[in-house]
Amino acid sequence: MALYQEFEYRMMKILKKLGKDTVTWDSTFNTGMTMPAGSVVHDYQGGNESVAVIAKAGVKVIVSSLGADYVAGQAAWTQLFQQDIMPSGLTPKEQTNVLGGAAAMWGETMDDSDIDTIVWPDTAALAERLWSPGTDVNPRALDTRAALLRLIPHRCRLYQRGIRAKPMDDRDGFGRRRFQAQCEVLLPAVTAGSLPPLSYVAEEL
Per residue in 73-123, pLDDT tens? 677 888 888 888 888 899 999 999 999 998 888 777 777 878 888 888 888
pLDDT of residue 181: 64
* Distance in angstroms (rounded) separating the CA atoms of residues 11 and 6: 9
Count CB neighbours of 20 within 10 A: 11
The pLDDT tens digits of the residues spanning 41-53 come to 999 888 889 999 9
Q: Walk across the sheet containing 60-63 and list its strands.
A: 23-25, 40-43, 60-63, 98-101
Query: How many residues belong to the chain?
Result: 205
Q: Which residues contact 113 (CB under 8 A, 6 or more apart)?
A: none
Asked if residue 85 lies in contact with residue 127, where contact means CB atoms within 8 angstroms, the answer is no
Q: In Å, what is the CA distance from 36 to each residue of 5, 42, 91, 93, 196?
A: 13, 14, 22, 19, 50
Q: Classify 57 as helix, strand or coil.
A: coil
Q: What is the pLDDT of residues 153-195, one digit of tens each?
A: 888 888 878 888 888 776 655 555 555 566 766 666 666 555 5
